[in-house]
Amino acid sequence: MERTLSLIKPDGVARNLIGEVIKRFETAGIKIVAMKKLHLSRKQAEGFYAVHKERPFFNSLMEFMTSGPIVAMVLEGEDVIAHNRKLMGATNFKEAEEGTIRRDYATDIEKNVVHGSDAPETAAFEISYFFNSMEIVG
- Residue 16 Cβ vs ligand ATP, minimum distance, rounded to whole Å: 19
Helix (H, G, I), strand (E, B) or coil at 38: strand
Q: How far is CA 53 from the centre of its chain?
A: 18
Query: Binding string to ligand ATP for residues 21 to 50, with x set by CB under 6 A, is what?
Result: ------------------------------
In the complex with ligand ATP, which residue's Cβ is closer, 34 or 88?
Answer: 88
Residues 87, 24 contacting (CB under 8 angstroms): yes
Which of 61, 70, 75, 81 is close enough to bind ligand ATP by CB under 6 A? 61
Q: How many residues does the chain have?
A: 138
Helix (H, G, I), strand (E, B) or coil at 68: coil
The site for ligand ATP (CB under 6 A) is made up of: 52, 57, 61, 91, 109-110, 112, 115-116, 118
